[in-house]
Structure 1
Amino acid sequence: MSELDARRSALTGRFPNWQPSALADWLVGRAAEYGDRPLVITDDRTLTYRETADWAARLADGLVALGIRPGDHVGVLMANYPEFVPVKFAIAAAGAVAIPMNFLYRTEELAYVLAQSQARLLITMTGHAGLDYLGMLDTIAPGWADGVTERLPLLHTVIQMPTDGKVRAGVRTLADLETLGTANNGAAEQISVDPASVGDILYTSGTTGSPKGVLITHDAVLRTGYASALTRAFEDGRRILFSLPCYHMFGYVEGLIAATMVGGAVIMQTTFEPEDYLAGIQRHRANDILCVPTMTVAVLEHPDRHDYDLSSLSAVLSGAAPAPVWLWERVRDELGATEIVTGYGMTECGGAMTLTRPEDSFELTAATVGRPKSAGVAGLDDGALVRYRTVDPMTGEALPDGAEGELISHGPTSMLGFWDQPEETARGLRDGWVFSGDLGRVRPDGYLEITGRSKELYKSGGELVMPKEIEELLTAQPEISQAYAVGIPDERWGEAGCACVVRAPGSDIDADTVIALCKDHLARFKVPKHVVFLTAAELPTTPTGKVQKYRLVAQLKQRLEQK
């Protein structure tokens, strides 16, 4: 038996059958088993399993004392600080639904998600990456500090976590919430949570440009995390380093939840810096790192990488975008990792659904996004986490095996739907199958090849970007007549955003101005990397005048290559 198979056998021995669990109950069980083992590691602080569970219990008691009831929605606007973990489990223990939010949101983006999610309480950093979240709330909902706002009538409480040296007087802090919980010890103890109930509403981008809140159950994230550990053959106590945010399935499930399957730990960083990854591996003896190809390249290109002791590193999960064979070879040769995998998934499915295997060739890892994760007792009858097939993207009719079409999936971790968007739910979830909007094929060996996107969304640096949002911002400017945002294939970014702009008559707006405008109003990952100016006559259109974006992409690729 190979070492990888021996690890998988040990893991299946720990889970002879699958017992659905609520998230808070899961943490309590892990704390009973792993007690003083570290669960959360940062340069400044380490939390054991027991400390995390106890902290989460106090915070849950505080939430209940503030009036949070089962089913209430609680927003979390927090980077990868150690507090995120007990906060996340505390919300679950109170029977509430967590709404982890992208902390790069600008004011209007945050306003939309707070309103659409119907959050009753928000736990937020005071600031991060130059953003002032309390200032945003002042703009969005004047009077929020008093619990009465016209724009967000359901939001009755905001809890602040000072992260930038600023504290708003009169507003409860996370420490205050813990103190309140201590004074109301046991307030959440009698709350029973169904594992099949919604534990998270995770916002993703929609085909129309409006973010959609994906309803994911407690049981779903645990099944997905277990499947990750099994497929990647986690050893006991694995330490996973990442800066990928926990508002996203990547950090949340592939990192935090998966680590708990083997009594492991997460080494969380609040921002990505290549040197911090290298230093973190050395200092905390990380066995595994999570990244997207752009991050992987940045680590490999760091001039001091050979100065660090990376001998503990054995595994890398680099997903969200395709990468060439040479990248995997450099990861092996220069970082020393030998268990290198990539994968594919989407929030609507419950996270990453496919992975290549650590024993796969680099050619297979570069050409495909893997096959369905092995889930054993947590999966379908055949032990796979999910089943994929293709349908005609226009009619939805099933296609023959191996045919290219829209990828659809079915499995026990699929979303229950989109929050308060029944029409979007009907389009995206049909007869238990999640329609991805991605084009691809399922090979005879079960591995998936992604060939394109039937939707216009694109991924840059692993983050999904909505073209319509950029286009609406630009066309609202009097200097711009038309604007189209597309993703251009890029070896570093996966896809690089490109804004195609038609100037208004008499306008001399330049690329720097367009970029600056986007930086002022959009999250950083949405800002286009390129700006190209065209005349209206140069736009490729249908006979009815609709711009054909696939032709526009080809045109822009050629133009950029000639620069």
Structure 2
Amino acid sequence: MGWSNLSDKPWLRHYPVEVPSTCEYPKQNLAHFLVQTASDYPNHTALYFLGKKITYRQLLHSAYRFANALANLGVRRGDRVAVMLPNCPQAVIAYYGTLLMGGIVVMTNPMYMPRELEYQMKDSGAHVIVTLDLLYERVAKVVPLTGIKHVIVTSIKDYLPFPKNVLYPLKAKKDNLKRDVVYGNGVASFMELLEQATATPHEANVDADRDLALLQYTGGTTGIPKGVMLTHTNLIANTMQSRLWSYRSQIAKETYLAVLPFFHVFGMTVLLNQAVYTAGTLILIPRYEVNQVLQTIDKLKPTVFPGAPTMYISLIHHQNIKRFDLSSIRFCISGSASLPLEVQESFESITGGKLIEGYGLTEASPVTHANNIWEKRKLGSIGIPFPDTDARIVNPETGEEMRVGEIGELTVRGPQVMKGYWNKPEETAKILKDGWLYTGDLARMDEEGYFYILDRRKDMIIASGYNIYPREVEEVLYEHPDVEEAVVAGIIDTYRGETVKAYIVLKPGAKGDADAFKAWCKERLAAYKVPKQYEFRDSLPKTMVGKVLRHKLAEEEAEKLKKNG
């Protein structure tokens, strides 16, 4: 890529000596990580699921069986296979099995409703979907409307140890969970397909730079979701970049707490691919539940715990946090939303480990920046670009590079940047220009090369002509001792165009006093940034990964306006 000198990339001088600024990425099938690790550490535990252990040898054999089962169903290289599962062994087997036979994985959120699912299946052209018996009813509704020919159904109990596997159906019945599946006519059992297939090694040769490993849907919050085309090289590069960054992690020695979902690209890269690449053990947790997470850390001693800020917030505010030993946690990368300083400091003091903020987006597999874990970091910043990753701040209108400290749009380039959007050349052209990915995030870079995200361009509030960045106001609210969670959004104001509204979840026992909060903000912010309205709520609308949905709040406000018309 040829950078002229260090002054173009001031961040390189903050790289730890252990981290190279560039690296070679092998041109291979992404699933080769699993083949390699199973060959080097066959008896090492790959997965731990609610008491059951699966070794790397067993995992690879199951993935080969799944690859051969797909081939038996007529699935060919380049065909799309949807995986609609929470974090469980079947999700890992289906993911690597699809990659081994040269298929393209379409990770699908198990929370999707039929309308969202129908759109994704039609758009991706998936012929096969792997799902749970609990989700079968939803999937069955959309099959006739899409090109899906095969539905492969599994159950949580299939990989539970005895006696949990026997008790699970009873508990499911008691909880009124529907598990009825009609097999035949294109509906097959996951376990039966594996049993009928051979474990003959099957690893498709791929053109790693061009062939897709994954279609990851994004942008549901900005209109219709788009399929991000990620190649084998994109995902291999980001897995290796993340590994270089966490250089103290040891091969075959780390235990990863896998609570971030694998169907989100952050969980897939920093948990699934990275653990398999480094022969780590993944503790699979199907859904985030604070008590279960605390008990798991206390008992199983995971060393790495990537998450979203809301997860760390719920842990540090848990009333019985002192009863649990969390000292096994050595480092955590927080992503998917900004990490409040108070949360970072509390979490580090409780665990004794490191919690750093990183930044990424689905279009970059996803990580592009992170703070140093053990060396210099700057609180409030997203850190510095990863190895082989370049970043700059440009004028969103002209594309011209901004000076140090000036606010503009963050653009990035590197081997982890997507090939484009699936079947959407116009959308691709808007965001990929000359190899640079335009992120849509407003940011600035300081003189040392540390980057600071201010907000999504579309989240910026413009009140009486002033630009207001929600994150800055949120940081001030988080400093208030009564605040558990806070989010700030722009609402329509006939006089100012937009005005600032704060939505606050209080800590137990705290009182919501809007005047007191206003006074708190006035002492710390310019008058035009101070929220004019305060709404105290029990909870905030969130995505599966714990990102607060600002647009939902905006929609609620629009509804109110209509009613009060």
TM-score normalised by structure 2 residue count = 0.74
Q: SS state of the match for residue 23, structure 1?
A: coil
Q: Residues 28-427 of structure 1 correspond to what in structure 2 (within 5 A)?
A: 28-127=35-134, 133-141=135-143, 149=144, 151-152=145-146, 154-163=147-156, 166-170=179-183, 171-182=187-198, 186=200, 189=202, 191-196=204-209, 197-205=211-219, 209-233=223-247, 234-236=249-251, 237-337=253-353, 339-360=354-375, 364-365=378-379, 367-373=380-386, 384-427=387-430
Partner of 2:481: none
Q: Which moved more, 1:200-209 or 1:22-31?
A: 200-209
Partner of 1:480: none
- Given that 2:459 and 2:489 are in contact with CA atoms closer than 8 Å, whether structure 1 keeps it comes out as no
Q: Which moved more, 1:60-69 or 1:223-232?
A: 223-232
Seen in structure 2, the aligned counterparts of structure 1 residues 120 and 229 have a Cα distance that, compared at 3 Å, is: same
Cα separation, 2, equivalents of 1:314 and 1:224:
21
Cα separation, 1, equivalents of 2:153 and 2:363:
30
Query: Shift in Å at residue 281 of structure 1?
Result: 1.2
Query: Shift in Å at residue 210 of structure 1?
Result: 0.4
Count of aligned pairs between the two proteins:
460
Seen in structure 2, the aligned counterparts of structure 1 residues 54 and 190 have a Cα distance that, compared at 3 Å, is: closer
TM-score normalised by structure 1 residue count = 0.74
Query: Shift in Å at residue 528 of structure 1?
Result: 3.9
Aligned counterpart for 1:438 among listed residues 429, 436, 441: 441
Q: SS state of the match for residue 194, structure 1?
A: coil
Q: SS state of the match for residue 202, structure 1?
A: strand
Q: SS state of the match for residue 289, structure 1?
A: coil
Cα separation, 2, equivalents of 1:355 and 1:494:
23
Structure 2 regions of 5+ residues with no counterpart? 1-13, 157-176, 462-469, 479-483, 495-536
Q: SS state of the match for residue 83, structure 1?
A: helix
- Given that 2:405 and 2:444 are in contact with CA atoms closer than 8 Å, whether structure 1 keeps it comes out as yes
Seen in structure 2, the aligned counterparts of structure 1 residues 408 and 17 have a Cα distance that, compared at 3 Å, is: closer
Could you give the per-residue CA deviations for residues 478-531 of structure 1, whole angstroms, max 9, x where no partner exists? xxxxxxxx99947455746799899xxxxxxxxxxxx9xx99x99997594684
Cα separation, 1, equivalents of 2:110 and 2:293:
21
Cα separation, 1, equivalents of 2:329 and 2:81:
36
Could you give the per-residue CA deviations for residues 231-252 of structure 1, whole angstroms, max 9, x where no partner exists? 1222232111131110111211
Query: Shift in Å at residue 413 of structure 1?
Result: 1.1
Q: Which moved more, 1:61-70 or 1:486-495?
A: 486-495
Query: Shift in Å at residue 270 of structure 1?
Result: 0.9
Identity between Structure 1 and Structure 2 (%) = 26
Seen in structure 2, the aligned counterparts of structure 1 residues 244 and 76 have a Cα distance that, compared at 3 Å, is: same
Structure 1 regions of 5+ residues with no counterpart? 128-132, 142-148, 374-383, 459-485, 503-514, 540-563
Seen in structure 2, the aligned counterparts of structure 1 residues 501 and 274 have a Cα distance that, compared at 3 Å, is: farther
Could you give the per-residue CA deviations for residues 262-302 of structure 1, whole angstroms, max 9, x where no partner exists? 32122121111112111111222201212211110111111
Seen in structure 2, the aligned counterparts of structure 1 residues 245 and 347 have a Cα distance that, compared at 3 Å, is: same
Q: SS state of the match for residue 443, structure 2?
A: strand
Could you give the per-residue CA deviations for residues 73-107 of structure 1, whole angstroms, max 9, x where no partner exists? 01010000122111100000111000001111112
- Given that 2:108 and 2:263 are in contact with CA atoms closer than 8 Å, whether structure 1 keeps it comes out as yes
Could you give the per-residue CA deviations for residues 329-372 of structure 1, whole angstroms, max 9, x where no partner exists? 211222222x221100101012111110113567x13x201111
Q: SS state of the match for residue 223, structure 2?
A: coil
- Given that 1:77 and 1:125 are in contact with CA atoms closer than 8 Å, whether structure 2 keeps it comes out as yes
Partner of 2:526: none
